[in-house]
Amino acid sequence: MSPQPRLPRMFFQRNTVTVARELLGKRLVRIEHGKRLAGYIVETEAYRGEEDMGCHARAGLTPRTRVMYGPSGHAYVYFTYGMHWMLNFVVEQEGFPAAVLLRGIQPCEGVEIIAERRKGQPSKRWTDGPAKICQAFNITGEMNGIDLCAEEAEIFIENSFPHEMIHAKHVSVGPRVGLFTVPEPWKSIPWRFMLDEKIIESE
DNA sequence: AGCACGATTAACT
DNA sequence: GTTAATCGTGCTC
């Protein structure tokens, strides 16, 4: 499919859970040296506010969480486990800290570059985790805070199914991953969204 | 200043 | 199923 309109800031400036759900099926695009890498979003998680004990913003406003308190439509990129980068999208109103974590995509453009960066792994495992996406798309902390809605943005989200919404029967929901020491109800709240990849159109 | 742990991954057994 | 890799962050002393 040819390039589509980018999602505007108003898309991100809404309830975190709504945005996480509606990002399924949209396309993540990365511009590198003028070349497009892209993939359909198939898995997201919502992290919402200081009350959410699974969200980094539970620590309040710190150097790390500052971007989440800023305007929506920006990238929140953080480092964890001593080696991995994670890409999130800042959402909700400025001043309310919240973000959507990108956990899975299905590559559709720049596949040969993605394959090279994920060399040694089968194609099903190229971008099926948050750190794998950042490795495949060459996304690091240098991109923390960039505006996805700016004209010159090197990362943004595109519409991909302009005439049809993703139907609920193609979406599964569950608890967020990796929150081992987070108390309830936050540990089990169903804020993880997965798209049935069989409905993704091929190029 | 020191410490425990993390929104993970890959390579093991 | 288990575990090492590896270091920034936030909390405690």
* pLDDT reported for residue A164: 63
Domain span at residue A22? 9-201
Q: For A78-125, write each residue's pLDDT tens digit.
A: 999 999 999 999 999 999 999 999 999 999 999 999 999 999 999 999
Strand B bases near protein CB (under 7 Å) are 5-11
A75-103 exposure pattern, b = at least 16 Cβ within 10 A, e = fewer: bbbbeeeeeebbbbbbbbeeebbbbbbbb
Residue A1 is encoded by which pair of tokens? Answer: 């499919």
Query: Does residue A181 lie within 7 Å of nucleic acid chain C, judged by its CB?
Result: no
* pLDDT reported for residue A162: 59
What pLDDT band is residue A15 in, cutting at 50, 70 and 90?
Answer: very high
Find out whether A89 and A144 touch, Cβ atoms under 8 Å.
no
**Nearest 10 degrees: Cα torsion A77, A50, A22, A112:** 20
Nearest Cα residue to A128 out of A110, A103, A148:
A103
Query: Does residue A9 lie within 7 Å of nucleic acid chain C, judged by its CB?
Result: no
Nearest nt (C1') from A46 Cα: B7
Q: In this structure, is residue A4 part of a structural domain?
A: no
The CATH number that applies at residue A175 is 3.10.300.10
- What mean pLDDT value characterizes chain A? 95
* pLDDT reported for residue A168: 87
Strand C bases near protein CB (under 7 Å) are 5-11
Find out whether A96 and A71 touch, Cβ atoms under 8 Å.
no
Counting every residue written for chain A, the total comes to 203
* CA gap A74, A77 in Å, rounded: 10
DSSP bridge pairs for A109: A38
Between the CA of A118 and the C1' of B2, what is the distance in angstroms?
Answer: 37
Q: How many structural domains are present in chain A? A: 1
What value, to the nearest 5°, has the Cα angle with vertex A94 and ends A88 and A96? 75
Q: What are phi and psi of A13, to 5 degrees?
A: -85, 50
Q: In this structure, is residue A193 part of a structural domain?
A: yes
* pLDDT reported for residue A202: 56
Query: Does residue A62 lie within 7 Å of nucleic acid chain C, judged by its CB?
Result: yes
Q: In this structure, is residue A2 part of a structural domain?
A: no
**Strand B: residues with CB below 7 A:** A 45, 47, 54-57, 68, 76, 80-84, 86, 88, 99, 101, 118, 120-121, 125, 129-132, 135, 176-181
Nearest nt (C1') from A56 Cα: B7
Q: In this structure, is residue A178 part of a structural domain?
A: yes
Q: For A145-187, write each residue's pLDDT tens digit.
A: 999 999 999 999 999 875 567 888 999 999 999 999 999 999 9
Query: Does residue A82 lie within 7 Å of nucleic acid chain C, judged by its CB?
Result: yes
Q: In this structure, is residue A152 part of a structural domain?
A: yes
